[in-house]
Chain A
């Protein structure tokens, strides 16, 4: 079945759960190789993050060997600058790094999409005010603004998460507002308004389901961006603080090994890159499917 027929199908029949599931599997079976690579990568990372304590041979902050022990039988990837097992820290790092990024993106998503929908639905001065505030925030490069705010509120996980979430929600605000604006002018929204439904109902029941696809794609992209920003801040020593195992700070802590042509510090950096690639591949495929309906 082609994308057009698919679109027709979607409009004519009320999409039941079974219908939707069938469509999902059909898309999945036709997914390009890059999307499959992405799915496998993300699932593998999720597995490692969820079962970290059972997979890791040693504790997260446990000192088990000498400083910078080389790769070997006992320590598969050697030890770090304090003699902690590198492999175990990589595994725990998956859990810490991903969960902080996911939490941040979720908060950003709730703030950004919520306010974006509100601005599009209500309009008027609320829309103007929110849009101008977002304009000003977006006029400062994000990392620079984050650095400024971190210098004021200090470096803790909570301030890190909140600062990045608020700054990143501006992008989600713009996207959700602009796609929601196209929906607010449609007849069924007008009908809901005349019927006397509240703003919250119109936002969540009438508009949100119709803009979900581009917003989910945006969520994936924002996750990548947030993930890289937090990694960058941790790398600079201003993000997730020691002794928590986190990939960004692990690169920084072990960076001197590069000068002895030891590739260990590249591993956490590579882990960051690989997950971002995986998510990007999935988002790319998802965008391809959803834009296929338009063509």
Chain B
């Protein structure tokens, strides 16, 4: 078998294993609930019968392994169970499936995140490469101190500064990112502008610093020294000699930063009241709506694992040592 294919299959298997372990951890969350949880959710006035019915509804009367299997089976079919917010109306009210709550919001979050990523990733790579290229110059030092300060800013600080200037003082963009099902592309772009800008600024500094470090580390290796001695220009050095070997660390950097993006999304959506799953998750945590929290956590975690897996595989595929095996 092709050695690269073998390594990739191994990584895929490992990723799947991680996903299973993570889903088990997220699932066991409900296992750790304190005993009086049902009465806390249903209110003090709940009768023993309603508590029992509620426990039956969320399946607490079945063994854990069976419930885990049911849950995973449901998730695989796009069914995340029912929100607790409908539990108060047991008997009468209708159930609210978690999947129905999440689907439209997931779309909004994906739109926001992809707009932010498609701007932040190329920009960070360019600035990072420039900083490595002109290492120890004024430009590099300025970028270095500036980005070190910048990564210290909480996301909501950047968000409110942008909001203050771009929407309150100069009224260029709406301060609240309200979109609905039937918003057109123009509406989406306008609504997403401020949150996306915040996300770009939040991730840019991290990503750029790591790109620079990856390249600078590589620049001190002997073969680069050799290329320098034979008189290759700086651009040639970076783009033809260093970059092919830097893809793996850079892919890692991008994956790591898309993780920052996930965290950023949660906060930024709450600042701008953008209807995505970050906002849904926070309100579900506040009301202790565990099935919704679990579903959101699983989606975020799966995305994160997928990013890391992709970075891993990109690192393997672009590794010249593996491509030309002796």
- Residues of chain A at the chain B interface (Cβ within 8 Å): 34, 135-137, 139-145, 147-154, 224, 228, 231-232, 235-238, 248, 251, 255, 258-261, 263, 265-266, 269-270, 272-273, 276-277, 279-281, 284
Residue contact A238 to B148, C-beta cutoff 8 Å: no
Shortest CB distance A59–B (Å): 27
- Chain B window 83-119, contacts with chain A (Cβ cutoff 8 Å), 1 for yes, 0 for no: 0000000000000000000000000000000000000
The answer to whether A258 and B154 touch (CB under 8 A), given A141-B300, A149-B29, A151-B293, is no
Give every chain A residue within 8 A of B175 (Cβ-Cβ). Answer: 258-259
Residue contact B160 to A265, C-beta cutoff 8 Å: yes
Shortest CB distance A264–B (Å): 11
> Per a CB cutoff under 8 Å, which of B290, B300, B308 touches A144?
B300
B149 in the interface (beta carbon within 8 A): yes
Give every chain B residue within 8 A of A269 (Cβ-Cβ). Answer: 154, 156-157, 160
Residue contact B156 to A235, C-beta cutoff 8 Å: yes
Residue contact A151 to B288, C-beta cutoff 8 Å: yes
> Per a CB cutoff under 8 Å, which of A34, A148, A270, A284 touches B294?
A148
B75 in the interface (beta carbon within 8 A): no
Known contacts A148-B285, A231-B154, A261-B164; can you find 19 more A-B pairs with CB under 8 A?
Answer: A135-B18, A139-B18, A139-B22, A139-B304, A140-B22, A141-B301, A147-B266, A147-B281, A148-B26, A151-B288, A152-B288, A232-B156, A236-B267, A255-B160, A258-B160, A261-B168, A273-B153, A273-B154, A279-B152
Give every chain A residue within 8 A of B155 (Cβ-Cβ). Answer: 232
Shortest CB distance A228–B (Å): 6
Number of interface residues of B (CB under 8 A): 50
Shortest CB distance A268–B (Å): 9
Residue contact B21 to A147, C-beta cutoff 8 Å: no
Q: Which residue of A lies closest to B282 (CB)?
A: A236
> Per a CB cutoff under 8 Å, which of B262, B286, B290 touches A237?
B286
- Complexed CA–CA distance, A152 and B35 (Å): 12
Give every chain A residue within 8 A of B262 (Cβ-Cβ). Answer: 141, 143-144
B178 in the interface (beta carbon within 8 A): no
- Chain B window 68-79, contacts with chain A (Cβ cutoff 8 Å), 1 for yes, 0 for no: 000000000000
> Per a CB cutoff under 8 Å, which of A34, A152, A228, A279 touches B145?
A34
Residue contact B154 to A140, C-beta cutoff 8 Å: no
Residue contact B290 to A152, C-beta cutoff 8 Å: yes
Shortest CB distance B321–A (Å): 23
> Per a CB cutoff under 8 Å, which of A148, A248, A255 touches B297?
A148
Shortest CB distance B23–A (Å): 10
Residue contact B156 to A238, C-beta cutoff 8 Å: no
- Residues of chain B at the chain A interface (Cβ within 8 Å): 18, 21-22, 25-26, 29-30, 32-33, 145, 148-149, 151-157, 160-161, 163-164, 168-169, 175, 259, 262-263, 266-267, 270-271, 281-282, 284-286, 288-290, 293-294, 296-297, 300-301, 304-305, 308
- Complexed CA–CA distance, A263 and B161 (Å): 9
Shortest CB distance A45–B (Å): 13
Give every chain A residue within 8 A of B157 (Cβ-Cβ). Answer: 251, 266, 269-270, 272-273
- Complexed CA–CA distance, A270 and B156 (Å): 10
- Complexed CA–CA distance, A226 and B29 (Å): 23
Give every chain B residue within 8 A of A251 (Cβ-Cβ). Answer: 156-157, 160
Residue contact B305 to A238, C-beta cutoff 8 Å: no
Shortest CB distance A223–B (Å): 11
- Complexed CA–CA distance, A231 and B154 (Å): 8
Q: Which of A142, A143, A151, A235 has the most CB of B within 10 A?
A: A151
Residue contact A148 to B293, C-beta cutoff 8 Å: yes
Residue contact B160 to A284, C-beta cutoff 8 Å: no
Give every chain B residue within 8 A of A277 (Cβ-Cβ). Answer: 148-149, 152
Shortest CB distance A204–B (Å): 32
- Complexed CA–CA distance, A150 and B157 (Å): 23
> Per a CB cutoff under 8 Å, which of B25, B161, B163, B270 touches A236?
B270
Residue contact B263 to A142, C-beta cutoff 8 Å: yes
Residue contact B284 to A151, C-beta cutoff 8 Å: yes
The answer to whether A140 and B282 touch (CB under 8 A), given A152-B33, A265-B160, A269-B154, is no
Q: Which residue of A lies closest to B258 (CB)?
A: A141
- Complexed CA–CA distance, A70 and B32 (Å): 47
Q: Can you name 5 A-B pairs with beta carbons within 8 Å?
A: A139-B305, A141-B301, A147-B282, A228-B152, A260-B168
Give every chain A residue within 8 A of B290 (Cβ-Cβ). Answer: 151-152
- Complexed CA–CA distance, A34 and B141 (Å): 12
Shortest CB distance B173–A (Å): 13
Shortest CB distance B155–A (Å): 7
The answer to whether A266 and B164 touch (CB under 8 A), given A136-B22, A140-B297, A261-B169, is yes
Shortest CB distance A49–B (Å): 18
Q: Which residue of B lies closest to A281 (CB)?
A: B148
Q: Which residue of A lies closest to B290 (CB)?
A: A151
